[in-house]
Structure 1
Amino acid sequence: MTDRPARRGWTAYVEEVPAQVMAGMPPALSTAVTNFIVALAIEAGAAIDAGKQPPGDLVDYHGARYLLHVPGEPVLLEYVAYPALRELRIPRLVWFH
């Protein structure tokens, strides 16, 4: 047994405007996007913890902002990684409908 506290997992926070876009989607699409974001937090967090680049195309010079297409869906999202908080934030989400 160790005295060190266990590290918590990574979380994803969807900002207000992307959340409104998701709320306007058909329920099946909204669920698919939600599931993708949950999986993204796990995958991106693990990559960052391992010192690797997380999924997506880097869109800034600071190595924190990424752009991704949700596979099989008409949705693009941008996320920002905050390693100190162990959090991904979704500031932009575009639904092509």
Structure 2
Amino acid sequence: MDKRAEKPPGDRRTIPAYVYYSMMRLSPEDQFDREKVNAAAQQRQEWVWIYEDGHKHIGNADWIKVFATEEAASAWFAENDPEGVVWSYPIETET
């Protein structure tokens, strides 16, 4: 039996990207271990949220939006593009 919760269609509740990506690096068995998931999430990495406006031309000042926090991205989307999509990426700090 799959222990994962099922969300109804249209449910937009999410978990923070850093928690999701930290958890997905774990083995499938460890993803169900709360202590291991919490430990992975504690090793928080810096992230940015990136939005591309496909209606703008490359180089246009509004073509790409980069947000420092998920909250900032959500606030911008609520006002400017409620149906838009943002991608989260870890900031590379090591070479």
Q: TM-score, normalised by structure 2?
A: 0.29
Structure with more contact order per residue of length (Cα contacts < 8 Å, sep ≥ 6): 1
Q: Which structure has the greater CA radius of gyration? A: 2
Q: TM-score, normalised by structure 1?
A: 0.29
